[in-house]
Amino acid sequence: MNIVLVTMPWALLDVPSLAVGILRRSAKNAFPDAEVTVVHGNLDYVDWLLERREFTLAQFNLLALDSYFSGLGDWVFSSALYPDDDPERRIQQMTEQLPLSDEDRDMAIGLHRSAPEFVTELARRILALEPDVVGFTSTFQQNTASLATARAIKLAAPRVRTVFGGANCDGPQGAALHRNFGFVDYVVRGEGEHAFPALLKELAKDTPDPEALAGIPGLCLRDGDTVGANPMSARPLLPADIVSPDYDGYFERLEASRVRDWVEPKLVVEGSRGCWWGEKHHCTFCGLNGSFMEFRSKSPDAFYDEVVGQVRRHQVLDMYVVDNILDMKYLSTVLPRLERSGYDLRLQFEIKSNLRREQLATLYRAGLVNVQPGIESLSSRVLKLMDKGVTGCLNVRMLRDAETVGLSVSWNYLYGFPGERPEDYLPLVAQFPALHHLAPMEGVARIVTERFSPNFDRPEFGFQPLRPDAQYRRNYNLPESELRDLAYLFTSPHRGIEEPVNDLLKAAGDRWQEEYVHSRLSGVDLGDRIVLVSRRKDFDWTTMTLQDPFELAVFRLLDQPHSVPSLLRKLAGDTSATTLEALLADWLRLGLVFTDDEQWVHVVPTATNQELLRFERIFDTRRKGTTDDEPEPEPSLAG
pLDDT of residue 256: 98
Residue pair 412/505 in contact by the 8 Å Cβ criterion: no
Looking at the chain, the whole-number percentage of residues with pLDDT higher than 70 is 95
9 found inside a domain? yes
Residue pair 143/74 in contact by the 8 Å Cβ criterion: yes
Does residue 574 carry a pLDDT above 90? no
Cα 484 from chain centre:
24
Confidence band for 619, pLDDT divided at 50, 70 and 90:
low
pLDDT of residue 225: 85
Asked which of 196, 218, 238 is the last residue of a domain, the reply is 238
Which of 83, 453, 27 is CA-nearest to residue 199? 27
* Angle, CA 432 vertex, CA 429 and CA 438 arms, to 5°: 150
Q: How far apart are CA 550 and CA 75, in angstroms?
A: 63
**Which ranges of 380-523 does DSSP label H, i.e. alpha helix?**
380-386, 392-405, 426-429, 454-457, 470-475, 480-486, 501-516
Q: How far apart are CA 340 and CA 352, in angstroms?
A: 24
Residue pair 187/169 in contact by the 8 Å Cβ criterion: yes
Whether residues 506 and 528 fall in one domain: no
pLDDT of residue 583: 97
Confidence band for 313, pLDDT divided at 50, 70 and 90:
very high
Whether residues 128 and 203 fall in one domain: yes
248 found inside a domain? no
**Residues 391-433: tens digit of each pLDDT:** 999 999 999 999 999 999 999 999 999 999 999 999 999 999 9
Which of 638, 490, 22 is CA-nearest to residue 7? 22
pLDDT of residue 633: 42
487 found inside a domain? no
pLDDT of residue 631: 44
Whether residues 198 and 281 fall in one domain: no
Does residue 630 carry a pLDDT above 50? no
Whether residues 350 and 284 fall in one domain: yes
466 found inside a domain? no
Q: How far apart are CA 198 and CA 212, in angstroms?
A: 9
Confidence band for 618, pLDDT divided at 50, 70 and 90:
low
Say whether 400 sits in a helix, a strand or coil.
helix
Strand partners, 601: 594
Asked which of 218, 238, 258 is the last residue of a domain, the reply is 238
470 found inside a domain? no
Whether residues 190 and 316 fall in one domain: no
Query: Which residue type occupies 484?
Result: R
Whether residues 504 and 539 fall in one domain: no
Taking each helix axis as running N to C, give the angle between helix 577-589 and helix 564-571, from 0 to 180 degrees, rounded to the nearest 10: 120
Which of 137, 180, 183 is CA-nearest to residue 156? 183
Query: Which residue type occupies 544?
Result: M
Q: How far apart are CA 143 and CA 146, in angstroms?
A: 5
Residue pair 402/485 in contact by the 8 Å Cβ criterion: no
Laid out side by side, the sheet with 599-602 consists of: 562-563, 599-602, 593-596
Whether residues 402 and 435 fall in one domain: yes
CATH of residue 531's domain is 3.90.930
**Residues 357-366: tens digit of each pLDDT:** 999 999 999 9
Q: How far apart are CA 251 and CA 248, in angstroms?
A: 7
Whether residues 283 and 219 fall in one domain: no
Residues 134-141, mean pLDDT to the nearest whole number: 97
Whether residues 137 and 17 fall in one domain: yes
Whether residues 273 and 225 fall in one domain: no
Q: Which domain holds residue 346?
A: 266-449+494-516
Looking at the chain, the whole-number percentage of residues with pLDDT higher than 90 is 93
Does residue 385 carry a pLDDT above 70? yes
In angstroms, what is the C-alpha Rg of the chain? 27
633 found inside a domain? no
Does residue 9 carry a pLDDT above 50? yes
Whether residues 229 and 273 fall in one domain: no
323 found inside a domain? yes
44 found inside a domain? yes
Strand partners, 543: 533
Structural domains counted in the chain: 3
Residue pair 517/577 in contact by the 8 Å Cβ criterion: no
CATH of residue 381's domain is 3.80.30.20
Does residue 610 carry a pLDDT above 70? no
Confidence band for 616, pLDDT divided at 50, 70 and 90:
low
Whether residues 38 and 158 fall in one domain: yes
Asked, as a colleague might, if the bond just before 465 is cis with ω within 30 of 0, I would say: yes
Q: How far apart are CA 272 and CA 323, in angstroms?
A: 6
Q: How far apart are CA 431 and CA 599, in angstroms?
A: 14
Which of 592, 603, 598 is CA-nearest to residue 563? 598
Does residue 130 carry a pLDDT above 50? yes
First to last CA, the chain: 82
Confidence band for 617, pLDDT divided at 50, 70 and 90:
low
Say whether 550 sits in a helix, a strand or coil.
helix
